[in-house]
Amino acid sequence: MLVVVAPGQGAQTPGFLTPWLELPGLADRLAAWSEVAELDLIAFGTTADADAIRDTAVAQPLLVAAALASAEALGVAPDLLAGHSVGEFATAALAGVITPEQALTLVRERGRAMAEAASVTETGMTAVLGGDEGDVLAVIDKHGLTPANINGSGQIVAGGTLEQLAAFADDGPPGARLRPLAVAGAFHTAHMAPAVERLREAAAQVTPADPGVRLLSNADGQVVTGGAEVMRRLVDQVSNPVRWDSCMATMAELGVTRMIELLPGGTLTGLARRGLRGVKTVAVKTPDDLDAARELIK
């Protein structure tokens, strides 16, 4: 069984789209999507620096466009789809729930709303690597933080105010390493609640279709079969934790044997190598990776 996954915010790096512009038609596709996103996706993906693409309002449309463009170049028909955080919008489009243009319109509003919510209070996120999961969750709770991403493979991301994160850094879980993340806010926590209603209003303008491919949800890792339910979950997920551990558990239950991570790949295949042992993976980073991905499809 083949699963195709789309990464979330933080996967972008300066210039990552540059080699992709050499593929026939891809620059034209990105130019058209730039009009929808109201951003110059080509410039942000080729010449912008790390600070520019760290901006939530930029990063989210950029990541969704990159995932969709690489999927189009690959031409894959997977058995299962799953996206991490904003990557869920890319996989919803690939499953036929919404169109790529609708995905980018919604993500444009999502990114702007989350950026505005993040500006209200200085917040951030810290990755916790290793340690006993129970101990990690207990210390996160002790400091008033939220386990915003429970990624499995010994990785949990805590979100909250900078003051809370500073205290957490001084009094972290035993046996764990802490790594502050270069993100602009505490995503998937209550700090994002103001963005939920704005996204809900935008989503109300879209009539979704039922998924044509099995599609996993970050809420609980379950397969979602109705388009309306997919949309409800996409909206609610903005302020709720991402349960990628549950998504990987469902992949294992369903018998996934192969995984392709769309552009900019690396993060989710890294988690799979530790949490889904034996599953063959390909991370799509440059066009040179397409041959390996196509070989895996065979």
As annotated, the active-site residues are: 85, 188
Give dist(CA 26, CA 31) in Å, integer. Answer: 9
Contacts of residue 222, defined as CB under 8 A and 6 or more positions apart, other chains included, come to 216, 246, 250
Please, are residues 59 and 53 in contact by the beta-carbon 8 Å criterion? yes
Using CA atoms, how far apart are residues 168 and 161, in angstroms rounded to an integer?
A: 11
Q: Do residues 216 and 81 touch, judged by C-beta distance below 8 A?
A: yes
**How far is the C-alpha of 67 from the C-alpha of 33, rounded, in Å?**
12
Q: Evaluate the CA torsion angle 242, 177, 58, 116 in order and state its sign.
A: positive
